[in-house]
Structure 1
Amino acid sequence: MSTSPQILLWFHGSQYTDGQSNIPSITARKLKENGFSITQIMCTCGSIAETTKMLQNAIFNCSTIVFIGGIGHNPDDLFIKSLSAVFQKDPITNKQALSWLQDKYPSEDLIPPNIFNTTKIPSKAIPLFNPIGTTCGFLVHYEDTSIYAFPDEPTELLSMLEIHMEKSSNAEHTTLSTFGWSEQKIRRSLPDLQHFLKINSTPTGTWISYNKADLSNFEEQTLKKTLSSILFAHHQTTLEQVISKILIEKKECLALAESCTGGKLSSWMTARSGSSRYFVESTVVYSNSTKKRVCGVLQSDLDQFGAVSRPVAISLAKGIREVAHSNWGIGITGIAGPNGGSAEKPVGTVHIAVAGKTHLKHNLHLFTGSREQITDRAASAALFMLYKALNV
């Protein structure tokens, strides 16, 4: 007999009942990979009253429900209202969900008013972090049933399933945000604790979750000390969110000169409203002539060392900082592939430099993966270098 968790997978929205979305099959496949056995998939598009009745029946018959859709920015979120009817309690603003939302914006006055609705969840629910969007999910226990709710934007949904659908439902979890080590290295560095850790590793960061009840105070301190060189937050967040807040607090600003990343880092840093408070300028310096014209890269350095080199990365960082009159400048140059590498400089070779008024740091990386993974890793490595510089 199988001991894997068995669940009802419930999708709400006309795109599901009309067969216009492949999200149900993708989600079921993802949960199966995570060790779940799907006993039923249900697609509905009913009213609040109809959904409430179906929810009552599902609670009676299922031990675990995963509801997708019906939560978000709308103040009349269907699933929240249906749960309120079942629980006979109105939703409340969750402090942790509100904190996560505030982390995604440089200042609270820049948060659109309707987005605050996403922080209202059932009173006894556990908020589930959304690393990409602004709508958090939640987990709530009712009688003998665990009820998960997630937004149905595909990228957000899959990311949240990866993070949250293997966690113990009753535990008090802590998540550490890190960058720079693989999951294998983290586990090797913590041989006595690795079995207590849930690790979600991506090219843009690694999030390490654990149940506080599983670790003694000494073990938890050992964990944090071991990870101190790669740790950038003691809660679940992203590098760009952390750095934007630090820059605003310090009243400092950033400029970027990107070659192989093609503007990816600039896009990340300007993805949220209010980024003009800390972001001044960026340029994609793909050609050598642009590197020379915009950032003052020397022809002699290009001739002697090539465009993918330490001197050029440093010139890009210093040059864009000077041109933009910013506190900080970052220069990135490399070979993202899949073509263009050589024996001396294979695909994945990336030089990154960070320049400040009294700070200059260069790192050479050899990343692996697809072109997208390499540029994700390069942009994230540049952010982590800046994070270290800002915290000197």
Structure 2
Amino acid sequence: MKKSLLRANLLGMKGAILAVGDELTSGRIRNVTSYRAADLLSRYGYRIGEIVTVGDEKSRIVRHLRRLLEEVRFLLVSGGLGPTEDDLTTEAAAEALGLPLELNEAILSRIRENEREQGLSPNPLRDRMAYLPRGAEPLSPDLSVAGYFLSHRGRLLFFLPGVPEQFERLLVDRVIPILLDALPPGEKVFVRTLRFFDLREAEINRAVREIGPSGVEVGFYPVFPEVWVTLSARAKSSREAEARVEEVARALRHRFPEHLFGEDDRELARALGDLLRERGATLALAESCTGGLASSLVTRVPGSSEYFLGGAVTYANEVKREVLGVPERFLSLFGAVSREVACAMAEGIRRYLKATYALSLTGIAGPTGGSPEKPVGTVWIGLSTPTETVARRFLFPGTRHEIQLLSAYTALDWLRRYLLTGNLFPGYRFARDDTL
């Protein structure tokens, strides 16, 4: 008895995640479900000790299930619950736990109902989904999504679908509430993610060392082209944990007031949109080398129609002339990738859409098309305001997609920093000296 109690105390709130699927082990699909689950669970105070990915091989699934259940208090398993021959998770669970599979009449009835609605004939493979290990209970209240949980020898097991949207819905609506009720964490956790642009990880890391955070765990996560810094603290109360994190966050905000653009889910485009909304201002975009990427970033934000009037992808020179009014002599004398064309593009779209501000992007994203004078990565960004229009030349490194993404981010960030500070030429790591 004492030995089992000691083991339970050592395990604490420790959990693990087992992701099943050949599509994961082959690299065809990224394992987003595991990392999303780990992030959410850690915010509730649960520790994920291990994330395991295994292919659709029954013996391997069984072996990992047995090992993990010796080491954790709860286990999340994703994938392998569907109606195909390689969906082996339920069979492996029954074998690993030493439990028989039993027919769940409610699930079978739902399968038959779906077949009638879709005009399908009964299929033994679909019927397999109605058989669960003894004692298992479906997670979905209306049985619309495969997934179940059971308690086995003091361990909680959750089996969820591999489809990310279905996985996350069950995780949030069912798994976390069950865990909080059955295994309430012994400490409170507060997590905040700070998002930086145009700042290298080493610079932030040096600042963190100088701040010397006490009782705060700091994690660095490059999410190109951003750098995310996650601050987390554990304490007896939520207030105490939040206070520890906020002390470090406040110091970093003070150290990098322009580069720290957002926190948690606040994207760069949302930060810019909030500034435009506060000022009652509007934005228009003219894009060439980015092909509408900057506009896409802006319109991902709900409510962006309040300030974003629209944009134009003017890839060909004739479109730059006819739509934006770029003079032919600019294109002939300076080329499409030039200060003059960037300024004319920004002015043209601002005038056409009657926007307060406009941004333009024209450049060479590669991998071909560069020259000694204008190498791949050369991008001119134009900014047109109610009083003046300017342009800057940037040299961005990376692949075609990375150059496009850096270009779009820099354009939006330039306007954001201008609205914050009034400085028309804030410093950038990738700016050429001769653009100022």
Distance in structure 1 (CA, Å) of the matches to 2:272 and 2:25:
33
> What does the per-residue CA deviation read over 1:223-250, in whole Å, with 9 as the maximum and x for residues that have no partner?
2222112122344410112223333333
SS of the residue aligned with 1:192? helix
* Residue number in structure 2 paired with 1:206: 227
Structure 1 counterpart of 2:307, which letter?
Answer: Y
1:256–1:283 Cα contact (<8 Å) kept? yes
- Correspondence 1:233 to 2:252: no
Compute the displacement of 1:294 (Å): 2.2
Distance in structure 1 (CA, Å) of the matches to 2:347 and 2:331:
16
Compute the displacement of 1:284 (Å): 1.2
* Residue number in structure 2 paired with 1:27: 31
Compute the displacement of 1:49 (Å): 1.9
Distance in structure 1 (CA, Å) of the matches to 2:352 and 2:320:
12
1:330–1:355 Cα contact (<8 Å) kept? yes
Distance in structure 1 (CA, Å) of the matches to 2:212 and 2:377:
29
* Residue number in structure 2 paired with 1:142: 183
Structure 2 counterpart of 1:174, which letter?
Answer: R
Distance in structure 2 (CA, Å) of the matches to 1:368 and 1:286:
21
* Residue number in structure 1 paired with 2:137: 49
Compute the displacement of 1:192 (Å): 2.9
1:296–1:315 Cα contact (<8 Å) kept? yes
Distance in structure 1 (CA, Å) of the matches to 2:369 and 2:307:
34
> What does the per-residue CA deviation read over 1:119-167, in whole Å, with 9 as the maximum and x for residues that have no partner?
xxxxxxxxxxxxxxxxxxxxxx92579xxxxxxxxxxxxxxxxxxxxxx
What is the 5 A alignment of 1:105-254? 142-143=183-184, 171-188=189-206, 190-193=208-211, 197-211=218-232, 220-254=249-283
TM-score of the aligned structures, taking structure 2 as reference length: 0.57
Distance in structure 2 (CA, Å) of the matches to 1:367 and 1:344:
15
- Correspondence 1:81 to 2:161: no
Larger radius of gyration: 2
* Residue number in structure 2 paired with 1:60: 154
What is the 5 A alignment of 1:249-260? 249-260=278-289
SS of the residue aligned with 1:339? coil
Structure 2 gaps, min length 5? 1-12, 39-47, 53-63, 66-76, 82-128, 131-135, 141-146, 234-240, 423-436
The 1:42–1:299 alpha-carbon spacing in structure 2 relative to 1, beyond 3 Å, is: closer
Among all aligned residue pairs of Structure 1 and Structure 2, give the percentage whose two residues are the same amino acid.
Answer: 28
2:292–2:312 Cα contact (<8 Å) kept? yes
Structure 2 counterpart of 1:142, which letter?
Answer: L
Distance in structure 1 (CA, Å) of the matches to 2:352 and 2:185:
62
Total equivalences in the alignment? 305
Compute the displacement of 1:199 (Å): 2.3
SS of the residue aligned with 2:137? helix
Compute the displacement of 1:177 (Å): 2.3
> What does the per-residue CA deviation read over 1:86-126, in whole Å, with 9 as the maximum and x for residues that have no partner?
656xxxxxxxxxxxxxxxxxxxxxxxxxxxxxxxxxxxxxx
The 1:180–1:254 alpha-carbon spacing in structure 2 relative to 1, beyond 3 Å, is: same
Structure 1 gaps, min length 5? 89-140, 146-168
* Residue number in structure 1 paired with 2:300: 271
Compute the displacement of 1:257 (Å): 0.7
The 1:302–1:6 alpha-carbon spacing in structure 2 relative to 1, beyond 3 Å, is: farther
Distance in structure 2 (CA, Å) of the matches to 1:259 and 1:359:
21
SS of the residue aligned with 1:172? strand
What is the 5 A alignment of 1:318-357? 318-357=347-386
2:195–2:229 Cα contact (<8 Å) kept? yes
Structure 2 counterpart of 1:210, which letter?
Answer: L
1:354–1:361 Cα contact (<8 Å) kept? yes
Compute the displacement of 1:28 (Å): 9.1
Distance in structure 2 (CA, Å) of the matches to 1:194 and 1:340:
48
1:292–1:299 Cα contact (<8 Å) kept? yes
2:364–2:378 Cα contact (<8 Å) kept? yes
SS of the residue aligned with 1:343? coil
Distance in structure 1 (CA, Å) of the matches to 2:168 and 2:207:
46
Distance in structure 1 (CA, Å) of the matches to 2:288 and 2:350:
16
RMSD value over aligned CA atoms? 4.3
Distance in structure 2 (CA, Å) of the matches to 1:189 and 1:79:
35
Q: Which has the higher contact order (CA 8 A, sep 6+)?
A: 1
Structure 2 counterpart of 1:186, which letter?
Answer: I
What is the 5 A alignment of 1:281-360? 281-360=310-389
The 1:246–1:24 alpha-carbon spacing in structure 2 relative to 1, beyond 3 Å, is: farther
SS of the residue aligned with 1:257? strand
Structure 2 counterpart of 1:311, which letter?
Answer: E
Distance in structure 1 (CA, Å) of the matches to 2:158 and 2:212:
29
Structure 2 counterpart of 1:346, which letter?
Answer: P
The 1:237–1:258 alpha-carbon spacing in structure 2 relative to 1, beyond 3 Å, is: same
1:317–1:355 Cα contact (<8 Å) kept? yes
2:378–2:396 Cα contact (<8 Å) kept? yes
TM-score of the aligned structures, taking structure 1 as reference length: 0.63
